[in-house]
Every structure is written in C-alpha cells, then in structure tokens.
Amino acid sequence: MDDEIFEEQDIYTLTDEDGNENQFELLASTEVDGVVYLALEPLDDNPDDSYVILKLERDENDEEVLVTIDDEDEFDRIADLFEDEFMTLEYPDDSAETQKKKK
C-alpha cells in the first residue's frame, strides 16, 4: 500500500444569531498584537468564494470563542493581511502554467 499524505481539514461548526448551525473550513490564521484571527470559508452554498474573518477571544469561563470584529479599522487591517496572503498562494489549477513561466 502506498503511503499517502492527506491534509487534515480544520472544520468549525458555528451558530449564528438565529440558532442556525453552519460549517466552515479554516483557510488561514494569523496572530497580530497577541490576537488570533481566522479566515473561514463556508462549506455550503458559497458561489462567490467568500470567507469570513473572526477573532479568537476567551469568554467568562475562560473558553475560546470566535467573535466578529466590530471595529471597522481593525477589520480592514486584518482583511488586508489575509488578502495579501491569499494573493501569493499558488493553486493546483495554475501550477503547470506557473512552471512554464519559470522556465
């Protein structure tokens, strides 16, 4: 049997304000000034390939919770970081074309 390496997906089940549960896949995470931020993509019904950005905080029971970013400047700064990171990623579909350009 061949050894195969499978990337483990980080899947989060989040509950919205209406009590509906939705699943999200972790695209990336980053830490800025001691705060951890996550970029999450919905697993269902995401025709425009959008993602959400949440930050990791601790609740009154010292448990980790994901919360929305209410400060617009903070959100814009973190969104720019993720966008810059996503722009530098190579995707399997374009890897052959990228290799041709390097030669």
Element spanning 43, H or E: none
Task: Output the average pLDDT for the chain.
Answer: 82
Instruction: Quick: pLDDT tens for 18-65.
Output: 999 999 999 999 999 999 999 999 998 877 888 999 999 999 999 999
Q: Of residues 57 and 90, which shows the higher confidence score? A: 57
Percentage of residues in the chain having pLDDT higher than 70: 78
The confidence score (pLDDT) of residue 56 equals: 96
What residue segments make up the domains of the chain, in order of their start?
A: 11-102
The confidence score (pLDDT) of residue 13 equals: 92
Phi, psi at residue 100, to the nearest 5°? -60, -40
